[in-house]
Amino acid sequence: MTMKDIFNDILSPSGGAEVSIIPVLQGDALMKVNESDLPDSLPILALRNAVLFPGSVYPITIGRDKSIRLIEDAERTNAFIGAVPQNDLTVEDPHKEDLYTYGTVAKIVKTLEMPDGTITAILQGFKRFEIDSIVEYEPYMLGRVRYLDDYAPENDTKTRMIAESLKEKASSLIRLSPMVAREAAAAIKSIESFEFLVNFIATTIEVENFMDKVELLQYGDLRARAMKLLSVLDTQLELQKIKQEINQKVKSEIDQQQREYYLNNQLKTIQEELGMDDVEEFSQLRARAEEKLWSPEVQLIFEKEMAKLERYNPSSPDYSIQYNYINFMLDLPWGQISNDNLDLKNAKKVLDEDHFGLDTVKDRIIEYLAVLKLKGDMKSPILCLYGPPGVGKTSLGKSIARALGRKYVRIALGGVHDESEIRGHRKTYVGALPGRILNGINRAGTSNPVIVLDEVDKLSSDFKGDPSSALLEALDPEQNTAFHDNYLDIDYDLSNVLFITTANNIDTIQPALKDRMEMINVSGYLAEEKVEIAKNYLIPKQIKEHGLEKGQLKIEKSALTRIIDEYTRESGVRGLEKQIAKIARVTAKKIALEEEYPKSVKKDDLKEYLGLPTNSHDVQKGNEAPGVVTGLAWTQMGGEILFIESSVSKGKGQLSMTGNLGDVMKESAQIAFQYLKAHPELTGLSYEEFMERDIHVHVPEGAVPKDGPSAGITMVTSMVSAYRKKKVRSGIAMTGEMTLRGRVLPVGGIKEKILAAKRSGIHTIIISEENRKDVEDIKEIYIKGLTFVYVKGIQDVIDAAYGC
């Protein structure tokens, strides 16, 4: 077959989608191009693991969006392109510094769309060039280039000897290389042109070091390029010989392994004939089964599974799967229940030792123990502790286990999106495992541990199933007596397990799951409570963890108060513990360096230990100017204060809003504006004057998303203050949803909002009359020093804000 025949075969339509991997050399008539026909600037196609040489046709796989766009444009306009190798193959969007300096002018002969969405373009190389600069990067690179000539040597004896050496070495390398088609060797022998020969071999060979191939482009002297190519061929020949030796050695080792496998099978057959099988191991499994307190039904299933195991060949994969299943079945604590400590006083003492406050949760546990003590048997409650981070929800589960004398298991559910994490995989699957609940019971060794399902509100679902739906069976007291794990495939009794779930935001919990749990709100702490927690729990803990002695670190109450007020901003105590840990580290460093340090840390020493305060309470600024009113908000971190700012300017009676507001909050602002538009007398303006003014509402901290209806009355008060040019009373904050008729509706998160108000020095809170019952449910300690103004309508809100 001639070179022209190979070339025509690739370009023929009957070739379909299959592309030959042999680069094809062309005749002089096909290869030559006048430099005057070439443009000064070329679209640059970055090549990864490919080099195109002049006088060759080569298929290139195109996958990047910019490259596909370039190929499509060039094919449509029949334009020249520049094929340039890429230096760093990992760069997805290469720039000039990521490209090699030299490339080859090419035209697109044909493109083929591949099933995986990529394009294979057959490029025809013409002439080398050097990139001067990249003038554009979009929609793809466009480079200004300088064209380079190739200098062919005289057809003397030396040139012919070099050509013969190239053919010989290239043919040898092709025979050793599995990646190059054998037809390439025949093509090499038929080439007479020295230039074609060098470029064809350079394009054809596969090299270990890609840059060796790239460097060949820089040689304009074809004899110099040929000598460099001979050096590359010698290196590749040595590497291929080494690879062949390694492959031969590996093949011999595999043959030896197959021989050993065959002999081992023969040996096992002989042992079975002589009765030397796994009888002893099977007897041990049955002995363990006799100690289990399982039902006759489970015993029958065990015998069936053992019969399967005995039929399997120990060398088969099914044997290990079946053995692991039976082993897990025997590891489970069927009917094994630890004795509960029913001393109620001791339980209360343990709970108080570990946690300050949280009386609702503690009372519920004591109630459970009291019924258990009187009745002797009771289904365990399923509690959901919800509240802001750092208030002790997760650690409370550990304390409950200690108070009851039960084992403790924690299962983190944050980010879990596979149902099999809860129910397990079927044992027939490779790598199958039981679900997390049975795994936890297996680790505990008893059937009545305390299991904390942490962050149950952060479960997600996808095509693998919904884990929260899988939890419905486990957390339903009427169903969990027969919990079905896919791996075990036998009903297991979870009714004795005390499940405690934790969550930050119960709104994201599936309603059906929420209905099965007893919801207990674990709200944030007051500053006074945090001081007590720090003194009794956090400071002793950090002293122990940092290797200090009891008298080496003391923090005065005034210093703790300042830390809480100026260095933390939270409902819980996690940030407070971090600050105390920092003081402990600095103290430990001073002791280790034998430096002087204060035995008792005072509030004036905090700057040295903790740096400048990171939290400032700027509530008063909300009352120093007209149009600025303080509101109360609820977040997953607890309660927060926020400021609503309004500004009036001349205009056409329009409203504008900023501050990264959500749709619901924007609607609240629209309702407030429309209400004032319908009742301009509240603003002290006539309707005509109202319509001659624009108002702008802004909620500071624009980078933080904000949403919800509870800022409704705050927004209308801010607008009234701006229209009247009269500031509201100092020290007040408000929260409540408003309707278009001017009614004030109740909102949630009252306790968290009250704590935020107290932290910020607010003394008067305006809320809906319908929230009165929520305030009355809160302990006196939380609302001490606060005045509540209960309102029914917007007129009441305005009167309260101005003290009317």
| Strand-pair partners of 631 | 642, 734
**Of 753, 758, 760, 768, which is the active-site residue?**
753
Mean pLDDT of the 771-787 span: 85
Taking 3-state DSSP, the helix, strand and coil percentages for the chain, each rounded to the nearest 5, stand at 50, 20, 35
Q: How many CB atoms lie within 10 A of CB 74?
A: 22
**3-state SS class at 419:** coil
Summarize pLDDT for 80-91 with one digit per residue, the tens: 999 999 888 888
The helix (H) or strand (E) run that includes residue 8 is helix 3-11
Beta carbons of 756 and 639 less than 8 angstroms apart:
yes
Instruction: Please report the pLDDT score of residue 270 as a whole number.
Output: 64
Gyration radius of the chain over CA positions? 40
656 is catalytic: no
Mean pLDDT of the chain: 82
Q: Which percentage of the chain shows pLDDT scores above 90?
A: 16
Report d(CA 671, CA 663) in Å as an integer: 12
Summarize pLDDT for 614-669 with one digit per residue, the tens: 776 544 445 678 889 999 988 766 678 888 999 999 999 899 999 889 899 999 99
pTM: 0.56
Q: How many CB atoms lie within 10 A of CB 706?
A: 19
**Of 710, 718, 721, 760, which is the active-site residue?**
710
Q: How many CB atoms lie within 10 A of CB 324?
A: 14
Beta carbons of 26 and 106 less than 8 angstroms apart:
no
710 is catalytic: yes
Does 404 or 648 have the greater pLDDT score? 648
Give residue 677's identity as a one-letter amino acid code.
Answer: K
Q: Where are the alpha helices (DSSP H) in 475-537?
A: 511-515, 527-533
Is residue 292 predicted with pLDDT exceeding 70? yes
Summarize pLDDT for 106-121 with one digit per residue, the tens: 999 888 888 877 788 8
Tell me the longest C-alpha to C-alpha distance in the chain.
Answer: 114
Summarize pLDDT for 570-621 with one digit per residue, the tens: 778 888 889 999 999 988 888 888 888 888 888 888 888 888 887 765 444 4
**3-state SS class at 760:** coil
Summarize pLDDT for 242-283 with one digit per residue, the tens: 877 787 777 766 677 777 677 666 656 665 665 545 667 778
Summarize pLDDT for 196-229 with one digit per residue, the tens: 888 888 887 777 777 878 888 888 888 888 888 8
Chain length of the chain? 804
pLDDT band, very low/low/confident/very high, at 804 (cuts 50, 70, 90): low
